[in-house]
Amino acid sequence: MIRCGGTVQVYNNRCPHQGRRLDYAPDRFLTKDGTLVCAAHGAVFGMADGECLQGPCRGESLTAYGCQWQDGVLRIEWPEPLA
């Protein structure tokens, strides 16, 4: 979950390049100037839209999940599990 201005974005913690986790330690992410940085390969993603701005997966995006505040709780719209 990322607060970006007045909105909240929720992304899967996986880089589209090789599916590695973005965090360099559990729940610790590299951020710089409104971007997220993949700890494995240095890919840079925009926080507002999850698009890769530079790095090995440029033009791809993080998987985003819909979310909304409901009665003070953030509700995340998870995808259906695979069969």
pTM: 0.80
- Per-residue pLDDT tens digits for 32-80: 788 999 988 899 999 889 999 999 999 999 999 988 888 888 888 877 6
Give Cα separations from 15 to 2, 37, 58, 72, 75 (angstroms).
Answer: 16, 9, 11, 30, 23
| Alpha carbons 7 and 60: distance in angstroms, whole number | 22
Q: Which residues pair with 33 in a beta bridge?
A: none
Q: Are 37 and 44 in contact (CB under 8 A)?
A: yes
- What's the CATH number for 2-77? 2.102.10.10
Query: How is the chain split into domains, by residue range?
Result: 2-77
